[in-house]
Amino acid sequence: MPQTDSPFRYPGGKTQLYRFVSNLLETNKINGTYVEPFAGGAGVAIRLLYNSKVKKSWINDYDTSIYSVWYYILEKPQELINLIEKVPFDYKTGHSVNKQVSIDFWKKQHNYYINNKERGKSLSLAFATLFLNRTNRSGIINGGPVGGYEQTNATQIYARFNKQSLIKKIKKIHDYKDRIILTNYDANDLIPILQKELDSKNSFIFFDPPYFKQGSGLYFTSFDAEGHKTLAKKIMNMTNNYWITTYDVDSHIVDYFKNNKKNYSYELKYSANNKRRGKASELLFASPNLEIESYDNVHLNPLI
């Protein structure tokens, strides 16, 4: 698993596209605002700031639970850190003090998340979301606990929950809060705001919507087919902006973007879950005004 600057774990995370995106920014002479309308872990957005590639990163996520995590990282980090420090396991060894206590604690956070994920942001929701993301299989928010409910596997529930590392990441991101814009819009509603507020010549938008095929299985907040189609239309209407959009391979998505001029497939090494490792094909669509080329681990193949 690649090292990230984000406190989140995500299947197929965008961080592996960092060098490719950074090269796009340099090639197109963009150093202003970088935007992720489906931020999730926002790995690229954060790293671009850390490496002074952009002046600001705009993080947006419609999922209230994900938004809550980012809100508390940026506005009230110590409150979130206090809850992380109280998680019941030996942080020095990384082992559970008691397996049953660990699973009971996981169930408590899971139940809280299920019952409160749509009730608006809160500290408890932020903590439950981050905890489940770090302790669930492959970081999938609605997956089961790492190591299983009986904790009989070699890899157990806290294998990806390193308190010191999490706290360090949270504090560093908070240090950059003045250069981060955080919003909680549906992406379709965000697009006209971006068109109005961004400097179209010095900004870049990376759309990474939920997978078309697996989205509903990986995320509680997802689109149906009509939602993906509407999003594609709105993205293609951003004729004055620089953008790319990535998707899983599906004929519906290819059809939705058929009128776009720069459409590609590419392969990238990553792990989306325990059953999907190695190279996986993806789709990438780019704005007509964007100078784009294969770079680093991203090899573009034009769609015919």
CB 76 within 8 A of CB 245: no
Report pLDDT for 279: 56
Q: What is the pLDDT of residues 38-90, one digit of tens each?
A: 999 999 999 999 999 999 999 999 999 999 999 999 999 999 999 999 998 76
pLDDT of residue 304: 74
On whether the CB atoms of residues 100 and 148 are closer than 8 A, the answer is no
41 in helix, strand or coil? coil
Residue 253: name the closest of 221, 218, 277, 282 by CA.
282
Q: Which DSSP string do the residues of 229-271 spell out, in sequence order? A: HHHHHHHHT-TTSEEEEEEE--HHHHHHTTT-SEEEEEEEE--
- CA–CA separation, 61 vs 99, rounded Å? 34
How far is Cα 285 from Cα 304, in angstroms, rounded to an integer? 13
- Name the CATH superfamily housing domain 14-62+185-302: Vaccinia Virus protein VP39 (3.40.50.150)
Q: Which residues of 264-274 are buried (b: 16+ CB within 10 A; e: fewer)?
A: bebebebbbbe
The Cα–Cα gap between 130 and 137 comes to 13
Helix (H) or strand (E) holding 302: strand 299-302
The predicted-structure confidence for 216-269, as pLDDT tens digits, reads as follows 444 444 567 888 999 999 999 999 999 999 999 999 999 999 999 999 999 875
Q: In the chain, where are the structural domains located? A: 14-62+185-302, 77-170
Residue 141 has which token pair?
């928010």
User: Span 193-203, mean pLDDT?
Assistant: 97
* CB 246 within 8 Å of CB 15: no
Starting at the edge strand found earlier in the chain, the sheet holding 203-207 runs: 180-183, 56-60, 33-36, 203-207, 242-248, 279-286, 262-269, 299-302
With a cut of 70, say whether residue 21 has pLDDT above it.
Answer: yes
Cα–Cα distance, 166 to 268 (Å, whole number): 27
| Mean pLDDT computed over every residue of the chain | 88
Q: Is the pLDDT of residue 185 over 90?
A: yes
